[in-house]
Amino acid sequence: MYILDDKNAGDWAMGGASRWWLHHALESLNKALNGKLNIFQGEPQAILSKLVEETSAQTVVWNRCYEPWRIARDGDIKMAFKDADIEVESFNGSLLWEPWQVLKKDQTPYKVFTPYYRRGCLSKVAPRKPLAVPSKISTLNVSKDSLSLGELGLLPTIKWDTQMQARWDISETAAQDRLDDFVMAELEDYREGRNFPDKANVSRLSPYLHFGQISSNTAWHRAADAAAIINNEDSLDTFLSELGWREFSYYLLYHFPQLPTKNLQVRFNVFPWASNTEKDLRAWQQGKTGYPLVDAGMRELYSTGYMHNRVRMVVGSFLVKNLLVHWHEGERWFWDCLVDADLASNSAGWQWIAGCGADAAPFFRIFNPITQSEKFDKQGEYIRRYVPELADMPAKYIHAPWLAPAEILAAAGVEIGVNYPEPVMDIKESRERALAAFALTKN
């Protein structure tokens, strides 16, 4: 069964892109179960208690979730059933290692990724190998109280999902196929290739992992098994460590449940974020900052529900460091726009880029969107794909079109401030302003 629980989720009810993905994921799952999926919406404890009574069930089982609100809810459900002499079992269906399994020698949690992963995780029992698909699943008839998928109201009322429909195949089979394609054709060059947004060298498995359409254990072992056929061991190690980064995000959320809302480094509580940022925030959200790589990333996000990881770091740095907009604003926008919106990864990622997290990038590491673009999208192919008004700009000038000679702009049909915006700020001045703000947190 699936229960949509928006009530207990509170502020962390799924955003629009995630709800869209969930609709199609449930549709695919129901088809795989020959229409036997029970669908409910509301208070899970009440719904489950009624079903237990109707079916005379003796045991209730589920896979664990790690968001703070879900831990609290599931704990209450477990206690209620145990008090009623109903057996309850929960399982790890989404992580390689449980957060409480990996601790330092003094039994406190790690706060830095490398020792957490290299010294902590890799010293534990290896991730379990996935079980085979059951040959048979026995199910009851669908409950009379089960809703139709449409009754959940997950799809948008305004048709903004056309490009997303074309971009994704949302099914377990598609997840397995995507993993196979990645391992066989793209893993070899993953270590370097993952930095280039116009290349197909990232797995793009994150939404399938988030929604449980494939497990991190499957990804881990499929990649590890490919060691015999690839020559670049560094690429394999890097990919496995990226799965480790996903684990670390969940680990931080479990041990520091304030992660989505509070700076883990409390000295950032005095950071002087800019005021009156609505105009800059809107330009960033719409991909109209005047910095092509930033704009391309934000438009990829809105149109496909996804953004390349290298570009995520650039647009995040741009928002919090160049524009001095609070990282909460970026976190909320990603929450609504990403099909892989994950409370752990989203919160940890934004704290990392803002410099205020447990294992954060130093605040003075400010990504320059021009040099990043020149280095990782040299010919401007990624920019041309998502910022079509710059499609005819020569590669030499596409990264900073306002610096191009007038005749180059005219030949490309680009009018700065007319059909492509002027830069919202000067990159050098904004860097100096950010460093001055950061200095105030050192007192």
Pair 288, 238 in one domain: no
Catalytic residues: 242, 245, 273, 309, 327, 350
332 and 192 part of one domain: no
Distance, in Å, from the CA atom of 245 to the CA atom of 331, rounded to the nearest integer, reads 18
Helix/strand/coil percentages in the chain, nearest 5: 55, 5, 40
The predicted pLDDT at position 133 comes to: 86
> Could you say which of 191, 221, 255 is where a domain stops?
255
Same domain for 272 and 195 = no
- C-alpha gyration radius of the chain: 23
CATH no. for residue 19?
A: 3.40.50.620
CATH of residue 107's domain is 1.25.40.80
Domain check: are 416 and 342 in the same one? yes
Return the amino acid letter for 128: R
pLDDT value, residue 193: 92
Query: Domain check: are 115 and 69 in the same one?
Result: no
Q: Give a yes or no: residue 153 inside a domain.
A: no
CA distance 402 to 406: 9
Strands (E), 189-339: none
User: Is residue 64 domain-shared with residue 198, that is, in the same domain?
Assistant: no
Q: Are residues 360 and 229 in the same domain?
A: no
Q: How many domains does the chain have?
A: 3
- Say if 327 falls within a structural domain: yes
Write out the residue range of the structural domain in which residue 346 sits. 266-442
User: Tokens 């059951």 appear where?
Assistant: 134
What is each CA distance from 407 to 292, 397, 412, 416, 418, in whole angstroms?
19, 12, 9, 13, 16
Q: What is the pLDDT of residue 229?
A: 83
Residues 279 and 412 in one domain: yes
Residue 113 sits in the same domain as residue 251: yes
CATH code of the domain containing 344: 1.10.579.10
277/395 same-domain check: yes
The last residue of one of the domains, among 221, 255, 289, is: 255
Both 334 and 438 in one domain: the answer is yes
What pLDDT is attached to residue 170? 97
What are the pLDDT tens digits along the chain (443 aa)? Answer: 999 999 999 999 999 999 999 999 999 999 999 999 999 999 999 999 999 999 999 999 999 999 999 999 999 999 999 999 999 999 999 999 999 999 999 999 999 999 999 999 999 999 999 998 888 888 888 999 999 999 999 999 888 888 899 999 999 999 999 999 999 999 999 999 999 999 888 999 999 999 999 999 999 999 999 888 888 889 999 999 999 999 999 999 999 999 999 999 999 999 999 999 999 999 999 999 999 999 999 999 999 999 999 999 999 999 999 999 999 999 999 999 999 999 999 999 999 999 999 876 777 889 999 999 999 999 999 999 999 999 999 999 999 999 999 999 999 999 999 999 999 999 999 999 999 999 998 86
Structure tokens at 186: 């793209």
Does residue 216 share a domain with residue 344? no
